[in-house]
Chains A and B, each alone.
Chain A
Amino acid sequence: MADAQDDAAHLMDDIDPRLLDLLRTRINTFIKWDLVRFFHANPHTADTAENLARYTGRDVRVVEPELRQLAQAGVLEVETLADLRVYTLTADNNTVALLDSFMRACDDRQFRIKAIYHVIRSLRRERERP
């Protein structure tokens, strides 16, 4: 079992280290992946968790913590307007360029399979954490 996991882990070896790091530390769930895809495709979005959940067809209770983590990771920015927490894509050009590389890499099926594998591993590790 451990060997099989190690073999599978080798699949990640040829991924651009910057993208691998992005997958390990920032886009480590499918919901984050969806949100990043949405913000990448619609980069001037400025909205609340409730509306972003609606746009991505998900439950706000699930989406809000993920948005918060993306903001903590510097992928998004969050601003408080009156009593609203408004999320926008980061203005940091390096991060935007990295996300652009990630989304372009996702056009390749082989990359997507590897990325999906990695996210599943991250989720499993999270679930198994005591």
Chain B
Amino acid sequence: MIETLYASGALNSPSGFLWATLLGVLFGLALERAGFGSSRRLAGVFYFEDMAVVKVMFSAMLTAMIGLNLAAALGILSFEALYLMPSVYGAYAVAGLVFGAGFVMSGWCPGTGLVGLASGKLDALVFLLGALLGSALYSELYPLLAGLARWGDSGAVLLPDLLGLPRPVFVTVFAVLGVAAFWLSEHLERRHYGRALATGKAFLAAVSAGFVLLAASLLSLPAPITAVTARGAPPEGFLAAIAEASDHIEPEELADRLMAGEPSLLVVDIRPAAEFAEFHLRGALNIPLEDLEAGLAPYRQGHLVVLCSGGMTHAAQARDHLARQGFENVYLLTDGLDGFIRRCLTPVSLRPAPVGPREAARINAWRAFFSASPAQAAGSPPLPYDGPLPGLVSTAWLAEHLTTPALRIIDLRAQPDYNYGHIPGSVCLSLESLRGSVGGLSSMLLPADLLARHFSLLGITPETLVVLVPGEKPHDATLAAMACERLGHRRYLILDGGFTAWEVEERPMDTLLPSIPETRYPAPAGPDGFTVDASGVLATLHDGRTVILDVRPAEYFSGQKTDEARAGHIPGAVNRPLTEDVQKDGEVSRLKPVPELEAAYAAIIPDKDTPVIVHCRTGHQASQGWFVLKRLLGYRNVKYYDGSWSEWASRPELPVETGEK
């Protein structure tokens, strides 16, 4: 059995380059001998004049096809040692049509164009310059074309296998069709020129008989044992190393090594992001097929990369492509994810064969480890939630729905705390990334388009149910809630008691970081409808209706203390420090029960239709007042003054009052 340079991964090595050069010389020679250094001759086929292209191309194709099948039948060569291009039907059909147009316009194709150049043809040089430009144009436009380039990708499959025909039968049929094309070509030429161009009938008959008989002789040879990776059949010897199964990793071994936390082991899931989101192995990295080469570049050395997809076909193709690019550390998961689920994650009770106690314990350990990986969904069906939205949610509910896709848990604590331990599957978000300088005012909630970008990076779609997890301060969650509100995202919940409650109740924790596919969250145009600026506040000062609610601590309200340009408060404002909305249960801070809040605010605000403007010093604490009034108590006209005291105090033209109220 021949080990090809491709199979040994040496295609792009000095010996590969030497062979390629030598074969190129022979290739150029054969093309030139055929007369393909002439564009006029090449184009002739499209006018049914000179049919040499058909004759040369199909004799060459038949010769190589018969030779290959002969070599495979005799055990000289396995198809698995050959580079088989994937069949991307849609892309290839479009490409073929465009290529044909370019071929007939120029009279050249890349190989013959080089021969034309070698023969001194200026039109060949111009054609090649065009081809260079066309290649570069494709690269430039690739971001737009990536979908088309993958349209109809059906993997590497052989046509006889697809048709269910034995390969010798297919080759024989192909030979008969080829011979028919030769006779048709001769007929067309005779009609055009009134005579045969180069071939007598006896010669043509001999060539025809030769091809058909050689092809038919394959029928008498024993069937080759090769099974290509097509149609889900497991490959028996993909590369030489795979023949000894040293390039495969068995699901059981992978499961054990992942549980052992081997640091150099990297599982790369090559399925599309949406499928990955539905299910993936814990700790797996999602690099869709088309980004694989670039995505794996950082792991070229020092890592053991295991490729997996649903079955084996795509992973095997990817392995094959990567080997060509010199990756030597890439392994395949035997039987793919389907096999992993069947062999490792199927409960003992559902297994067809009885399982011994030791094996059962192993299976249960795998199941516990791998089912702890929460699915990180984008684009999964929305999670039904029957409580009020937006609203508060209990730790018990969250624990129960932890593994549900379409849930995004956002941990708002500091990043070191998050890394030390977090709710499984949760993602860390710094509150400060939601705020910034806007129009000269610092600490303003960012405009919707920037927030939408953040949400996209968090893998959120408008259908995602977002759970906001503060540390100890409920107003951290309400500030993130304001970001949701600005985007019109009402599907959010605040974890009651925050992370502290989760921790105190000893619920599951994780240190693994989730892998989250980016989404595209649409940014709403226009104002959010609840934010007011200083002039909006000023306009309400003497309307006799609007309640301005200042949630800063009392000593700041009265003016005894200040961190800002001026001390005091907005004239007529009412003070209710935010701490009065919060109660402490041991270590856990949470918002007070709704009836208690209801009574407290009823004493300050006449009714639920009264316009209310909430502010604090920077807009952070005011978010809590806004959330309590608007979302928990159902006040209908609550505005948020984001600029808050920082802005008001800095503008000398705005009125200020001091003292208690």
Is chain B a partner of chain A in the same complex? no
Q: Which residues of B contact A (CB under 8 A)?
A: none
